[in-house]
A and B are shown apart, each in its own frame.
Chain A
Amino acid sequence: MLLQFIAGLFATVGYALIFNQPRRHLLATGLAGAAGWLLYLFAVSLGNGPGFSCFLSAFLVTILSQIFARVLKDPVMVFCIPGIMPIVPGAGMYNTMRAFIANDMPRALTVGYTTISMAAAIALGLLAASSLVHILTAVHRTFFSGATSKNR
């Protein structure tokens, strides 16, 4: 578990390095990525499908990125892009390709289907978390902030 956490952390920081992330954010992003990867492993170990686990994990990473973006005052995607990389289904894609080469069509289709559902789940997780934050800030702006009241 600890090894997986460290691997997730360093993998995320690796992406942060090749994507030229601002260096003051390296640790925060690494933690978000590692947390996402651990949540994915945990969800899978509870017997959830890889798609749903990816959804949960992407959701967590996006929420963390949104929090970091507000606290550290930088665009969300600066944190989000390296953060979701550990759960991107690279292995699934590779295994699909291997099955295709081995002419094992049933396996290629099942693994390929899982891979696509994982990618879609990541997109959905991003979407759901961003929308949630969007709704919360809109509600906050509309009902709990005096600044806009004069516009109504």
Chain B
Amino acid sequence: MNVDEKRVLLLALKAGELLLKSGAETARVESTTTRICRSCGIDDADVFVMPTGLFLTVNSADADHAVQSYIKRIRGARTDLERISQLNALSRQLEEKTLTLEEAEQRVEQIGREVQFSFPVRLLGAMMIASCFTLMFDGGLTDFLCSLLVGALTYLFQMKLVVRLQLNWFVETFLCCAASTAMTLMVTRLGLGDNFDPIIIGSLMIFFPGVAITNAVRDILAGDTVSGVSRAADAILTAVSIAMGAAVVLQIYGGMGGVL
């Protein structure tokens, strides 16, 4: 295996890893990695992708060279649609030969570093989710304002505190939902909001596993049944940890004599 082939493989592997971490569906990760390999002259590349790992094998055209395999273990995904879009565009540019290998390597590095929206913008997004769902589930104006506050605090709590503990996703979701419910109860107790139900639903919606649901369906439909089923299990477990987080706090609140 010559140096160039190895570089192509590492590029494809890096792109595949980023795609998988950003929440792309299995078929897209597979097609993008093989497209990168093929467009750089490696025809006999095979890739097998699961939500937790990525296998890439290349049979060099040269008979003297051994088969090369790479395995990449994937941990900790954060949805990032911009990365998926950019990596998809990059693989197509490589295919059309409008991008050289060096440029592609730099671009992938850059895509891996950049986050499109700054933290304040994403915080605004979380506030929009919380407040709009409060409205969609019959919250009044005061509830709307409360959920803006609670949504912002919840997202801050998640991103500035819990993420740094590097817990698994379910524990993280559980903690955030518990915190958000507790904050909502405090806020309504202070008399700022009328009903706590719509406010809690609003801020819990930030954690709903929309990506897992969508990808589970798309994977199963594409024939990637193993990935699809594991993503569906992921979605169900996330939903359970959301419910548990809220339930524990409500139960304690009820036990302390709060009116549910």
On whether the two chains bind one another, the answer is yes
Binding site for B on A (CB under 8 A): 3-4, 7-8, 10-11, 13-23, 37, 74-75, 77-78, 80-82, 84-86, 88, 90-91, 93-94, 96-98, 100-102, 119, 122-123, 126-127, 130-131
Residue pair B136, A37 in contact (C-beta under 8 Å): yes
The answer to whether B129 touches A11 (Cβ under 8 A) is yes
Chain B residues whose C-beta falls within 8 Å of the C-beta of A94 in the assembled complex? 197, 200-201, 204, 243, 246
Whole-angstrom CA separation of A85 from B124 in the bound complex: 17
Nearest chain B CB to A78's CB is how many angstroms away? 5
A20 engages B136 (CB within 8 Å): no
Asked whether, in the complex, the Cβ of A81 is within 8 Å of the Cβ of B211, the reply is: yes
Chief secondary structure at chain A's binding surface = helix
Q: Are A91 and B126 in contact (CB under 8 A)?
A: no
CA distance in complex: A152, B137 (Å):
55
Q: Is the CB of A17 within 8 A of B246?
A: no
Residues A17 and B250 in contact, CB atoms below 8 Å apart: no
A127 touches B79 (CB 8 A): no
- Chain A residues, Cβ within 8 Å of B206: 18
Size bin of chain B's contact surface: 35 or more
| Contact (A21, B81) CB under 8 Å given A14-B129, A88-B210, A122-B213 | yes
Contact for A20 among B28, B80, B128, B197, CB less than 8 A: B80
Q: Considering the chains assembled together, what is the distance between the CA atoms of A126 and B218 in angstroms?
A: 8
A63 to chain B: closest CB distance in Å?
A: 14
Q: How far is the CB of A59 from chain B (nearest CB, A)?
A: 12
Task: Please tell me which one of the listed residues A13, A74, A88, A130 contacts residue B125 in the complex, with CB atoms under 8 A apart.
Answer: A13
Closest B-chain residue to A24, C-beta based? B85
A18 near B126 with CB under 8 A, answer yes
Q: Which residues of A contact B200 (CB under 8 A)?
A: 94
Is the Cβ of A18 less than 8 Å from the Cβ of B122?
A: yes
Residues of B within 8 A of A85 (CB): 129, 205, 208, 210
Which residues of chain A are within 8 angstroms of B155 by Cβ–Cβ distance?
Answer: 18
- With the chains together, A123 CA to B132 CA distance in Å? 23
What's the Cα separation between A126 and B146 when bound, in Å? 34
Closest to A72 in B: B85
Task: Assess whether B43 is interfacial by the CB under 8 Å rule.
Answer: no
- Of the candidate stretches B45-53, B60-68, B113-121, the one touching chain A is B113-121
Check A77–B135 contact: CB distance below 8 A.
Answer: no
Q: Given B28, B88, B133, which contacts A11 in the complex, CB threshold below 8 Å?
A: B133
CB distance from A135 to the nearest CB of B (A): 12
Task: For the complex, give the distance between the alpha carbons of A7 and B126 in Å.
Answer: 13
Ranked nearest first, the 3 interchain pairs of A and B with the lowest CB-CB distance are A17-B125, A14-B128, A11-B132
Q: Which of B37-94 contact A (CB under 8 A)?
A: 79-86, 88
Query: A17 contacts which of B128, B133, B137, B211 (Cβ < 8 Å)?
Result: B128
Question: Which among B28, B115, B124, B218 has the greatest number of chain A C-beta atoms within 10 A?
Answer: B218
Q: How far, in angstroms, from A98 to B23 measured CA to CA in the complex?
A: 31
Closest residue of B by beta carbon distance from A15? B129
Residues of B within 8 A of A23 (CB): 116-117
* Bound Cα distance from A101 to B253, whole angstroms: 11
Q: Please, which residue of chain B has its CB at the minimum distance from the CB of A115?
A: B239
Residues of chain A within 8 A (CB-CB) of B83 are 20
Closest chain A residue to B122 by CB distance? A18
Instruction: Collect the chain B residues with CB atoms within 8 Å of residue A13's CB.
Output: 125, 128
Q: How far is the CB of A150 from chain B (nearest CB, A)?
A: 20
The answer to whether B221 has its CB under 8 Å from any CB of chain A is yes
Tell me which of B88, B136, B205, B246 contacts A75 (CB under 8 A): B88
B208 surroundings in chain A (CB, below 8 A): 85, 88, 90
